[in-house]
C-alpha cells in the first residue's frame, strides 16, 4: 500500500491537482509576452507601410532597436532592393486586392547588411465601413530552406558541368561557343552608343561590365541632344537575358528617344514607355525594366548644370560634391516600367555645381557579393566608396569603379552599367 493510500487519500488527486495548476498558469500567461517572445516575427503596419508595432523576436533577427523602427521606418525599409521591387509590384497590390496573402518568400536586410530569407504572411484589418486600417504580418525564418535550395542548385550545377565535360565532341562545341560569343558581342555593342556625344560644359564617362560572354545583357544607357540648350540621358536594366532581352532593350531605348521628342518631361517619357512596354508584353511572358530618365540644362554663364530626372523602380542616383561630400538623390515609390497598365513615377531635381559628378548605375554593382561570406555590397558601401574619393570628375570616378568591379571577381554575377556626368571644376 502506498503512503497516499495509507493516509486515506486518492492516489490520482495529487496528479490531477498539479496538472490543473500548470494548465491554469498557462491560461494566465501574459498575452503581450507571448506576442513579443514568439518563435516567429510579428509586426503591424499602417496602410502607408509605417511600422506601428513589432515584436522582439523580429528586432533581434534584424539587429534593430524598437525606438529606431516604430513610427520611423516602413516595412519596405526592412527589405533588400529586390524585395522592395517585389513588394511594390506584387505583394502590396495582391494584399490590397485579396485582403490577405500568405507564404510569400522575401529577403530582409539586417543591420549588418546581411540577407535574411523569410516567409511572409499578411492580413488586412478593416474598419466597420470596410476601409483597411492596418496590415498584420507574420514572418518566419526560412534560412534552412534557402540553404537546402542552394545545396540542390549547387548539386544540379555540378551535374550539368559533369555532363558538359563528358561530351565527346568537345572541340566542335568550343568552336561553336567562340562563334556564338563573337556574334553576341556584336549584338551587345549594337544596344549601346559607340561613344557619347560631346556636351558643352559637361564631362561624361561610361563603363559596361558583361557578366557572361554567352548571354546578351539587359543593361542600357544613352545621352543625346534635345535642342540647342538641353540634353536627355537615361540608364536602365530590363529583366532577363538573351535575344529576347536584347529585343526588349532595343524597344526601350528607341521608345524613350522618340517619346522625349514629343514631350521632354521625364515623367511623360516614362509614362509613354510604360504604355508601350505593357502593350508589347500583353498575352506573353511579362517584361519590364527599371530606368532613370533625365534632362540636363547646362548654364554657360555659371558653369552649373540643372538636372531633372524621373525614376521607375531604379536604384537612386549618387551625387559627388566638389566639397568632398556625397549624397543619394532618392526617388522612393517609383514603380517598375511595363509591368502594370498604369505606373507611378517619382521625380527629383538637382543642381550640379562645377566639380560635382552625378553617378547612375544598375543593381549589378550594389548587389555584388563580397568576401568569403559573400555579403551584399549594398548602397551604404557604395556611398562610403564615393565619399572617400569625392570630389572626382566622371572619368576618374568611372576608373575607380571599374577597379572596384574587377575586385569583386566571381561575386559580380550580373551585368553592370555605369554613367557619370558633371560640369568640370573651375
Lowest mean pLDDT among 28-32, 237-241, 298-302: 28-32
Average per-residue pLDDT for the chain: 86
d(CA 38, CA 57) in angstroms, rounded, equals 7
Nine-digit cell string for 147: 540553404
pLDDT in tens, 182-214: 545 555 565 788 889 999 999 999 999 987 665
Phi, psi of 194 (to 5 degrees): -60, -50
Look up residue 85 and give its DSSP letter: H
User: For position 178, what pLDDT does the model report?
Assistant: 55
- Give the H/E segment covering residue 3: helix 3-6
Of 290, 262, 264, 256, whose CA–CA distance to 367 is shortest? 290
Residues in the chain: 426
Task: Kindly report the pTM of this predicted structure.
Answer: 0.58
Q: What is the pLDDT of residue 179?
A: 60
Q: Taking Cα atoms as reference points, which of 43, 107, 96 lies closest to residue 74?
A: 43
Distance CA 124, CA 113 (A): 30
pLDDT of 116-129, one tens digit each?
888 899 999 998 88
Amino acid at each position: 500500500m502506498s503512503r497516499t493510500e495509507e493516509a486515506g487519500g486518492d492516489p490520482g488527486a495529487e496528479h490531477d491537482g498539479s496538472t490543473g495548476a500548470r494548465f491554469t498558469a498557462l491560461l494566465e500567461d501574459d498575452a503581450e509576452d507571448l506576442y513579443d517572445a514568439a518563435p516567429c516575427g510579428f509586426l503591424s503596419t499602417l496602410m502607408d507601410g509605417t511600422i506601428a508595432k513589432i515584436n522582439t523576436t523580429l528586432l533581434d533577427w534584424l539587429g534593430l532597436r524598437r525606438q529606431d523602427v516604430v513610427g520611423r521606418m516602413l516595412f519596405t525599409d526592412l527589405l533588400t532592393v529586390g524585395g522592395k521591387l517585389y513588394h511594390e509590384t506584387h505583394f502590396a497590390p495582391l494584399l490590397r486586392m485579396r485582403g490577405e496573402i500568405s507564404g510569400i518568400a522575401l529577403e530582409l536586410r539586417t543591420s549588418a547588411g546581411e540577407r535574411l530569407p523569410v516567409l511572409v504572411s499578411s492580413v488586412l484589418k478593416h474598419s466597420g465601413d470596410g476601409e483597411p486600417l492596418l496590415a498584420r504580418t507574420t514572418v518566419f525564418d526560412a534560412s534552412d530552406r534557402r540553404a537546402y535550395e542552394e545545396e540542390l542548385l549547387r548539386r544540379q550545377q555540378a551535374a550539368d558541368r559533369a555532363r558538359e565535360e563528358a561530351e565527346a565532341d568537345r572541340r566542335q562545341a568550343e568552336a561553336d561557343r567562340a562563334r556564338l560569343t563573337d556574334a553576341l558581342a556584336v549584338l551587345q555593342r549594337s544596344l549601346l552608343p559607340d561613344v557619347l556625344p560631346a556636351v558643352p560644359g559637361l564631362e561624361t564617362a561610361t563603363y559596361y561590365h558583361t557578366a557572361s560572354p554567352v548571354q546578351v545583357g539587359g543593361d542600357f544607357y544613352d545621352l543625346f541632344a534635345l535642342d540647342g540648350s538641353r540634353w536627355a540621358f537615361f540608364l536602365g536594366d530590363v529583366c532577363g537575358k538573351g535575344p529576347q532581352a536584347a529585343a526588349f532593350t532595343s524597344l526601350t531605348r528607341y521608345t524613350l528617344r522618340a517619346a522625349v521628342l514629343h514631350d521632354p518631361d521625364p515623367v511623360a517619357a516614362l509614362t509613354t514607355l510604360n504604355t508601350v512596354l505593357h502593350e508589347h508584353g500583353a498575352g506573353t511572358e511579362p517584361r519590364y525594366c527599371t530606368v532613370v530618365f533625365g534632362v540636363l540644362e547646362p548654364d554657360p554663364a555659371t558653369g552649373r548644370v540643372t538636372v531633372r530626372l524621373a525614376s521607375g523602380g531604379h536604384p537612386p542616383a549618387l551625387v559627388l560634391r566638389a566639397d568632398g561630400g556625397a549624397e543619394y538623390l532618392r526617388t522612393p515609390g517609383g514603380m517598375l516600367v511595363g509591368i502594370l497598365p498604369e505606373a507611378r513615377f517619382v521625380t527629383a531635381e538637382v543642381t550640379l555645381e562645377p566639380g560635382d559628378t552625378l553617378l547612375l548605375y544598375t543593381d549589378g554593382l550594389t548587389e555584388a557579393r563580397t568576401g568569403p561570406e559573400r555579403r551584399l555590397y549594398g548602397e551604404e558601401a557604395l556611398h562610403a566608396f564615393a565619399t572617400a574619393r569625392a570630389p572626382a570628375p566622371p572619368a576618374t570616378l568611372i576608373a575607380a569603379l571599374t577597379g572596384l568591379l574587377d575586385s569583386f571577381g566571381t561575386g559580380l554575377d550580373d551585368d553592370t552599367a555605369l554613367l557619370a556626368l558633371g560640369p568640370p571644376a573651375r
